[in-house]
A and B are shown apart, each in its own frame.
Chain A
Amino acid sequence: QSVLTQPPSASGTPGQRVTISCSGSSSNVGSVSVNWYQHLPGTAPKLLIYSSNQRPSGVPDRFSGSKSGTSASLAISGLQSEDEADYYCASWDDSLNGPVFGGGTKLTVL
């Protein structure tokens, strides 16, 4: 059971905008920033968003992150077929004194 809660699946058609949620608590998302990772099968997970809403260099601006209270969201606009992947949120948990992750959301581009 993952500490952070994500929907197991999401889908959209090319060009659409989709959002993926990440729900936590006051000991993690509510008080600490959130990172988002994209994971394509057989490859290393890739950092998409850090500090809740910052993009590393090289990540398209189609990807954006936000956080409010104990929830965070990843939005992908102008959906493309290559966006089909698993997406994970992560944060730090003050009670557990360690990094925590979501269970992942499998994004399907229809």
Chain B
Amino acid sequence: EVQLVESGGGLVQPGRSLRLSCAASGFNFYDYAMHWVRQVPGKGPQWVSGINWNGGSIGYADSVKGRFIISRDNAENSLYLQMNSLRSEDTALYYCVKDESTEWELRKGYLYYGMDVWGQGTTVTVSS
């Protein structure tokens, strides 16, 4: 069974840092791109960041660019999100999500399959 388990969330003060982790199991982790997606209760999901199968291609939403860093360890079947300079608007439930492709980015001429498996999420609260 494909499983994604997030950890590392919590309460943090504005301006501080937090590192999220995602443990993957049940599939060949190194074959797939991965994403972080966040959601505020009552709102739609928001894509945060994506990384391709080997970490060679990375993308960020404008709202987190320059503050968040996504990475992966294929030997450990793990995905990470280093969140720096946190703001109150970063408060959300953060999901680790598997892509159906090797690349996080839709390439010209390719069909879009998108995200297929989600974790249950870890809550990040940024407040003083």
Residues of A within 8 A of B (CB): 2, 4, 6, 32-33, 35, 37, 42-47, 50-51, 56, 88, 90-92, 94, 97-104
Residues of B within 8 A of A (CB): 4, 35, 37, 43-47, 50, 59, 61, 95, 100, 105-106, 111-121
Residue of A nearest to B47 (CB): A99
Closest CB-CB distance, B21 to chain A, in whole Å? 16
Q: Assuming A35-B115, A91-B112, is B47 touching A100 (CB within 8 A)?
A: yes
Q: Assuming A92-B112, A98-B47, is B100 touching A50 (CB within 8 A)?
A: yes
Cβ-defined contact, A45 with B114, below 8 A: no
Closest CB-CB distance, A107 to chain B, in whole Å? 15
* Cα–Cα, bound, A95→B20 (Å): 28
Closest CB-CB distance, A86 to chain B, in whole Å? 9
Other-chain residue from B37, B45, B100, B106 in contact with A92 (beta carbon distance below 8 A): B106
13 other A-B residue contacts (CB within 8 Å) besides A44-B118, A56-B116 = A2-B43, A2-B44, A33-B113, A35-B115, A47-B116, A47-B117, A50-B116, A92-B106, A98-B59, A99-B35, A101-B44, A102-B44, A103-B43
* Cα–Cα, bound, A91→B35 (Å): 14
Q: Which residues of A contact B43 (CB under 8 A)?
A: 2, 103-104
Other-chain residue from A33, A91, A101 in contact with B45 (beta carbon distance below 8 A): A101
